[in-house]
Amino acid sequence: MRLFLVAVFIFSVIALHAQEKVIFIAEDGLKITADLYEIDQDKPFIILLHQEGSSRGEYKQTANKFLKFGYNCLAVDLRSGGEVNFIQNHTALLAVQQGYSADYLSSSKDLEAAIRWAKERSGKPVVLLGSSFSASLSLIIAKQNPDVKAVIAFSPGEFFTPELKIQSSINDLNKPIFVASSHRESPYIDTLLTAVPDEFKTTYAPNDGGEHGSKSLWKSNPNNQEYWLALTMFFSKINRMHRR
């Protein structure tokens, strides 16, 4: 009952916070554009990452909901992307104009830069939230980077073969992860996460339907409230862990 009331609160009482565009630099010199949603500079960050062909606009209708979990949000334009919700990916445009590599794996430079920016601003480790290919990137980087405390991964997969295989790369990942998918993707996700210890992984898929990537959280998805409730439970779990 308590979790239900928390979920209702998130869905129905959302105070909109103004977003601010910020720019930071990846290690190869590319300027990265992001939208900052901030409730308190001292709060930790969720770094919001889009799927292929998309932009920071993927979180236009959901970023403010994440603030209710007690986190600031940074919605990042990765160099591999396009346009969604009428928001153009400025990082991807700049990468093409200036001749930077813009494949999926090169986007890891942008994610690492976002982690550094958020950690320097709040002084606290971050939560990564990835969508499709960026969900896979988030899982890989979480294993390597001590400034990442948890991962939320919507529809990860083997997007980087033959250069890199996700299933073996996240072997023995020992941080809390929440992995969500559509009903159809669920068996594949179970296989992908075989090598991650059960104590660290939480998975969710609806009994039917669902969406690929973080579009699962959009109002246009009939199952969206189920996903939000599952996320509420996951955040309760990681917040308890970090109070110990």
Provide the residue range defining the domain that includes 92.
19-214
Compute the distance between CA of residue 59 and CA of residue 61 in angstroms, rounded to an integer: 6
Residue 37 covered by a domain: yes
| Count: domains in the chain | 1
For 101, which DSSP code?
-
Residue 42 covered by a domain: yes
pTM (predicted TM-score): 0.92
Q: What per-residue confidence (pLDDT) applies to 83?
A: 98
Confidence of residue 8 (pLDDT cuts 50, 70, 90): very low
Are the C-beta atoms of 115 and 147 separated by less than 8 Å? yes
Residue 232 covered by a domain: no
Instruction: Assign residue 138 the CATH number of its domain.
Output: 3.40.50.1820
Residue 4 covered by a domain: no
Residue 231 covered by a domain: no
Confidence of residue 243 (pLDDT cuts 50, 70, 90): low
Residue 9 predicted with pLDDT over 80: no
pLDDT in tens, 50-108: 999 999 999 999 999 999 999 999 999 999 999 999 999 999 999 999 999 999 999 99
Query: 150 by DSSP, 3-state: which?
Result: strand
Residue 195 covered by a domain: yes
Residue 222 covered by a domain: no
The whole-angstrom distance between residue 35's C-alpha and the CA centroid of its chain comes to: 14
Residue 94 covered by a domain: yes
